[in-house]
Structure 1
Amino acid sequence: MGILFAKLWNMFSGEEHKVLILGLDNAGKTTILYQLTMREVVHTTPTIGSNVEELKWKNMKFVMWDLAGQDSLRPSWTCYYSGTQFIVLVVDCMDRDRVPLVKEELYKILAHEDLRKANLLVFANKQDLKGAMSASELSSLLNLTSIKTHRWQIQACSALTGEGLFKGLEWMANHVTR
């Protein structure tokens, strides 16, 4: 009964849910942000700082922060952590060489005190390209099954075609907490 009440409350309260879109440079974070909010591909340049957009989905409001992924800018991510309900980690599934770095960054993120209650959605991006790692291969390489401190989901997707993005958004909508 409590879960039902919480979901109904979220549907009608107009409450905002903070989402951080993180990942290494060139993973597709900004393309995903605009595919979700505008439902179209927007040609972008590398993000310096952040992009923020509001997305209304199923009577919920998500404030989505797309943060720059360059090595020199990743330390600034912590400035955005407070109040985050969802971490969306975008991974370029064509870039096998940097998966160990993605894994290192992921576990740093999850260890941060301000994110201890955040849910994790991993977008296994670039599935439209031949030779891309599958979501299950990426899950294994990131050792996602070892994560016991956060609710998590991995979703295969393509930022360019939009395939899989709304399934990830649906997962987020089903895991909104107050």
Structure 2
Amino acid sequence: MFHLFSHCWSWLQAIQEPIRKVTLLVVGLDNAGKTSIIMDIERALGGEALPAVQPGQTRLRVDRFEVTLVDLPGGQRSRGAWRSHYSAAHGLLFVLDSSDLARMEEARKVLSRVLSHPDVSGKPLLLLANKQDATAALLPCELIERLCLERLVNENRSPCRIVSAGLPSPRSPCPPALTLSPRPQEPCAARRDPPTGPAFTTLQGLRWLLRTIPT
């Protein structure tokens, strides 16, 4: 009887928990595939999309969160305007074309500038390694080294998770999700997501991001 009462009380607390509104910025270089990533998330959520308030925004209901995704232009001339959105953001999604090796250094510098900004430092980051089905695509475990992610995470105290976005890579079976936490926590821990398809893998990454946002 006690266990039944405890279960009912936990259920009542869950349904009475208020909806939390969060804003997430979707950034990355131009042609990285930000729009397709947002469409993947909408597809995985089914009918949980909400009416958009402004152009470039997507509103979603994810568990107990009302999420506003703000898709910012990734062109070089547009990136300077990103900083005006940083203070209102609870976290970031950085979309990376993992097959564009020629621009990987550019992506690293952009990511470093974003994470080191005082209005971003400490906020969680979901890095979406897009276009994993391309032959030249770097795997998430390779991107950690190429982007100096572990150093960036520790310097800026920003928890980070890398998720394979798009179709699976034809190369070696690197875990589709890698989580990096600032020291003194575990510096790098890998966790394999259930094989439920690319859209659901992206959605799982989004749920991690929402859970990581400080209350």
Residue equivalent to 1:132: 137
Q: Could you tell me whether the CA contact under 8 Å between 2:41 and 2:200 is conserved in 1?
A: no
* Correspondent of 1:164 among 201, 212, 215: 201
Residue equivalent to 2:24: 19
Q: Could you tell me whether the CA contact under 8 Å between 1:37 and 1:54 is conserved in 2?
A: no
* Correspondent of 1:117 among 122, 144, 163: 122
Q: Could you tell me whether the CA contact under 8 Å between 2:43 and 2:199 is conserved in 1?
A: no
After the TM superposition, which parts of structure 1 deviate over 6 Å for at least 4 consecutive aligned residues?
A: none
Q: Could you tell me whether the CA contact under 8 Å between 2:123 and 2:213 is conserved in 1?
A: no
Tell me, yes or no, if structure 1 residue 153 matches structure 2 residue 161.
Answer: yes
For 1:47-126, list aligned pairs within 5 A: 51-126=56-131
The one-letter code of the counterpart of 2:111 is L
Counterpart Cα distance in 2 of 1:171 and 1:125:
18
Tell me, yes or no, if structure 1 residue 36 matches structure 2 residue 73.
Answer: no
* 1:90 match: secondary structure: strand
User: Which protein, 1 or 2, shows the higher relative CO under an 8 Å CA cutoff with sep ≥ 6?
Assistant: 1
CA RMSD of aligned residues (A): 2.2
Aligned sequence identity (%) = 26
Determine which structure has more spread, i.e. the larger CA radius of gyration: 2
How far is the alpha carbon of 1:38 from its aligned partner? Answer: 4.1
* 1:27 match: secondary structure: coil
Counterpart Cα distance in 1 of 2:144 and 2:210:
22
* 1:84 match: secondary structure: coil
Q: Deviations over 1:62-106 (max 9, x none)?
A: 111111001111111111111211111110011001111111111
Q: Which shows bigger deviation, 92-101 or 128-137?
A: 128-137
How far is the alpha carbon of 1:39 from its aligned partner? Answer: 4.4
Tell me, yes or no, if structure 1 residue 175 matches structure 2 residue 183.
Answer: no
How far is the alpha carbon of 1:12 from its aligned partner? Answer: 2.0
Counterpart Cα distance in 1 of 2:17 and 2:81:
34
Q: Could you tell me whether the CA contact under 8 Å between 1:19 and 1:84 is conserved in 2?
A: yes
- Provide the aligned length of Structure 1 versus Structure 2: 161
The one-letter code of the counterpart of 1:151 is P
Q: Could you tell me whether the CA contact under 8 Å between 2:24 and 2:69 is conserved in 1?
A: yes
How far is the alpha carbon of 1:176 from its aligned partner? Answer: 2.7
* 1:18 match: secondary structure: strand
Q: Which shows bigger deviation, 125-134 or 90-99?
A: 125-134
The one-letter code of the counterpart of 1:158 is G
Runs of 5+ consecutive residues of structure 1 not aligned to the other structure: 1-7, 41-49
